[in-house]
Structure 1
Amino acid sequence: MSLHLLKLGLKGTDDEPRFFPQPGELKSRYDVVIIGGGGHGLACAYYLARDHGIRNVAVLEQGYLGGGNTGRNTTIVRSNYLTPEGVRFYDASLRLFQDLSEDLDINLFYSTRGHYTLAHSDDAMRTMRWRAEVNRHQGVESWMVDRDQVAEAVPGLDPDCGGSRPVMGALYHAPGAVARHDAVAWGYGRAAAARGVELHQKTRVTGIQQYGGRVRGVTTDRGTIECDSVISMVAGSTPTITDMVGLPTPIEIFPLQACVTEPVKPFLNTIVVSGSLHLYLSQSSRGELVMGSAVDPFVLHSTRSTFDFVEGLADNIVDLMPFTARLRVVRQWAGMSDLTPDFAPIMGTTPLSGFYLDAGWGTWGFKATPISGKTMAETVATGRNHELIEPFRYTRFRDFELVGEKGAASVGH
C-alpha cells in the first residue's frame, strides 16, 4: 500500500485538492476567450499559458468539460493520411501524444497497437498503395500487407468476409494507437487551470460582440465579457457560433455513432478499419470491443442513437469476425461531426480580426487534440497561422485550394 493511500484511509479526503479548481464569477475582461471545453479548447488554453505566457484566459463550456465529441469518440490516434499536409499535421499530433502522459502528469492509457486499413477491391488496393507512398515520403511508418498477413495479425478474422467482400490486403500503419479520451481532456484542463486559466462550465455563449471589423467581447447566459480574441472550438456546434459573427462556412453536421460490447478476454491487439464495410474496431483496456461506422447519411444536429446503426454495423462486423455474433452490445452513443467538402479542418485566422476558428473535424478530431491546441495557441499569440495549419486556412475555399483528404478520413477515425 502506498503512503498516500494510507494517509487517505486514516485522514480522509477533506484536505485533497480538487481536480479542477472551483471557478468564481466571470471577470469583466479576459485576453482570450475560448468557446468549447473539449480536448481542443483545453489543449489550446494549456499551450497559451505554458508556451506563450497568456494566462488571462477563460474557457467557456455550455455543458461539462469533455462532454461533447471528446467524450463521444473511439480514441484512435493515427497519421496515415492521404495528403502530405494531412500526414505532417497528424504525425506531429501523434508525436505529442506519445509523451503527453508525462507532460500532463496523468495516465492517458496511451497504447500503440498498429492500424490495419483493409482493402476489398482493386481500387481500394491502389488507394492504400498511394497512402503508403505518401506516408513514407513524410517519414511515417506505413506499408502494404497481403491477405495472409492480415489474417495472421487479426485473430478471429474471416478473410473471405462471409463470401461477400473478401479482404485483398491492407495498409498497415505501425504507430496507430488508442488513448483514454476523457483523461486527455481532464489532463489538459487541470494543467491549464494550474497555470491560471479559468474553466467555466455550464456557461453558454449567446452572442459575440464586434466593432470596427474586430472582436470586442462575448455575451453569455452569465453576463458579458470583454476580450481581444475569441477562439471557436466547438465541433458540431460550429454553425451556431459562426452565425453569430456572420461568417459563412461550408460545414455540414452529420451524426456519428459508435458502440461497445460487453468485456471479453483480451485478444485484439490492433486496430482494424474497413472502408468498404464501413466499420472500425479495437479492444479497450477493459476488454470491450469499441466499434463504429461512417457518419449517418443525413444532415442532423443531434446526438441520438438509432437501431438502424447498430443493426447495420453488427451485420458487417459478423461477416468480418464471425465469433462476435455471440457478444452483447452494452452501450451506444452519437456525436455531431462537422464535415467540410474536402474532409480537412478549417483552422486559424478569419476575416474578422480577433476571431479564430478551429472546426471541420468530421470524424478525426480527437487524434488532432495536442497539435490543434499547440498550433492554435501559437496562431493566436502571433496573429498569423502556424505553418502546419496554413493549408487548412479559412480562405482556401475562396482560393480553390482544397486539401482533398476524403480518401483517408471517411471511416478511419
Structure 2
Amino acid sequence: HYDVVIVGGGGHGLATAYYLARKHGVQRVAVLEKGYLGGGNTGRNTQVSRSNYFYPESGAFYEHSLQLFEGLADDLNFNVMLSQRGILSICHSPHEMELHRRWANAIRMNGIDSRILSRGDLEKRVPQLRLDGRYPVHGGFIQERGGTTRHDAVAWAYARRASALGVDLVQQCEVRGMQTTDNRVMAVETTRGVITADRFALCVAGHSSQLAAMAGLRLPVTSIPLQAFVTEPVRPVFDTVMMSAKVHVYVAQSDRGEIVVGAGADLYPSFAQRGSLDIHRDAFSALLELLPMFGRLRLMRHWAGICDMAYDVSPIVGPTPVENLYVSTGWGTGGYKAIPAGGDTLAWTIVNGRPHDLLRPFQLDRFRSGRLVDEGAASGVAH
C-alpha cells in the first residue's frame, strides 16, 4: 500500500514523484511504468524548453518551468545539458510580422524576455537562412533564454534522485484495470498484481483517455502523433532553435551533431509511434526551402510521440471528479518543456487537495464553463 501511486514513468511522472518526496516529505510513493523509464513521449520529442506563450496564464506556468530548468542541474546534481541558444520564430509576410510584434509585446507584458528581429538581424543571427526563397522571410522574434536540454538526462536525473529519496520505480508494470468504490479508486490491477494507494495520479500523455476510462472518467483529449527526425551528425553549424509556423517546421542541432527536425502534428488520431512519408516530405521540403545547405545530409532516424491534445491546446492538470484521482494531460506539443513545473505543481496539488495557483486556469471544469485558454498559435506547430 502506498500514499501515492503515479502511473507513467516519463518526465512528468518522475518529476511529480521527486517533488512529492523532496518538497513534501511523502514517504510511500510508487511510479508504475509499463515499459522503461523515459521511453514514451519524454524520449520522443525535440527537447525544446521555452516560455514564450501568449496568454498570461500559460506564460506564468511555462516561465516557472523554464526557471526550474535553469536550476535543474544543481537541484538534481546531474548535468541535464541545458543549452540556452535562443528560440527563434520567423515570419513570412507583413501580416504575420504584425502578429509576431503583438505576440512578442504580449510576452514582454507577461514579464518574459522577447525581442523582435528584422531581416538584417536574422541575416546576422542565422547566416544560413534563405531570406528570399519561395517563402520570403520578413523578420521574427526570439526568446534568448529558450533552448534545449537532453531528454534522457532529464528523465534519469529525476529518476535517480527520486529513487534516492525512497520512491519505488517499478518498470515493466502495466496497469490493466482499476478497482473503484464510492467514486474512489481503491487499487490498480497491474501485470505485477494489485496495488493499493490513498491517491492516484495519471501521467501517461497520449494514453490518458484510456487509463481514465478505467475509472469511468471521460477526458476531452485526443491522441495524435507528432513526428520528428534526425540527420547524420556533423560539426556544429547551427547554434539556435528556429521554427516557422507558416511552413510547419522547426530545427536545431543536438549536442551529438545531429540536425533535429520537427513537423506539424498528423491530421488523424492514432497511437502509432512511427513516422509517415507524407509528413517526411512536407517537413523536409520546408526545411530545405529555408536552409538548403542541409540537403546534403542523410536522414538517420524518425519517430513519433503520442500527443494528448486538449480541445484548447492547453493542459489539464489537477483533481478529477473521481475523488482521489489526479491527471496530468492535455500537454499537446508542450509536454517536455513543462516537465519541471508540471511535476512541481501537481505534487503540491496532490498534497494540499486543491489546485496550485499556477494550475487554476487549467482545470477540467473549464470545458463546462467555456473559460478556455486557447494556445494553438503559441504551440509552434500546426494541429
TM above 0.5, one fold? yes
Answer yes or no: is the 8 Å Cα contact 1:82–1:130 preserved in 2. Answer: no
Which moved further from structure 2: 275-284 or 309-318? 309-318
CA distance in 2, matches of 1:135, 1:154: 23
**2:146 is equivalent to residue 184 of structure 1:** no
TM-score (norm 2): 0.98
1:127, 1:407 within 8 Å by CA — same for their partners in 2?
Answer: no
Give the whole-Å Cα distance in 2 for the aligned partners of 1:101 and 1:159: 38
Q: Say whether the 8 Å CA contact 1:34–1:45 is kept in structure 2.
A: yes
Hey, which bits of structure 1, 4+ residues long, moved more than 4 A? none
Mapping of residues 244-263 of structure 1, within 5 Å: 244-263=214-233
**Residues in 1 aligned to 2:327 and 2:98: alpha-carbon distance in whole angstroms:** 35
In structure 2, the partner of 1:12 is: none
- Written as runs of structure 1 = structure 2, the 5 A alignment for 1:13-412 is 29-160=1-132, 162=133, 164-411=134-381
CA contact (8 A) 1:155 1:268 kept: no
CA RMSD, 1 decimal: 1.2
Deviation, structure 1 residue 412:
8.8
Per-residue deviation, 1:280 = 0.2
Write the distance in 2 (CA, Å) between the matches of 1:343 and 1:410: 11
Separation in 1, partners of 2:311, 2:380: 12
Q: Which amino acid in the other structure matches residue 69 of structure 1? A: N
Q: Which residue identity is paired with 1:142?
A: S
User: What SS class does the counterpart of residue 336 from structure 1 fall into?
Assistant: strand
Aligned length: 383
Q: SS at the partner of 1:246? A: coil
CA distance in 2, matches of 1:398, 1:126: 34
User: What letter is aligned with 2:205?
Assistant: A
Contact persistence 2:265–2:382 (CA under 8 A): no
Deviations 1:286-341 (A, max 9, x none): 21111011111111111122222222211111100111111111111111011111
| Rounded Cα–Cα distance in structure 2 between residues aligned with 1:143 and 1:155 | 18
Conserved in 2, the CA contact under 8 Å of 1:77 and 1:94?
yes
Paired AA for residue 114 in structure 2: S
Spell out, residue by residue over 1:4-52, the C-alpha distance to the aligned partner (whole angstroms, 9 max, x if none).
Answer: xxxxxxxxxxxxxxxxxxxxxxxxx111000000000000000000011
Distance 2:321 2:380 in 1: 29
Equivalence for 1:3: none
Quote the residue 1:15 is aligned against.
none
Larger radius of gyration: 1
Q: Any gaps of 5 or more consecutive residues in structure 2?
A: none
Q: Does the C-alpha gap of structure 1 residues 269 and 410 become closer, same or farther in structure 2, counting only changes over 3 Å?
A: closer
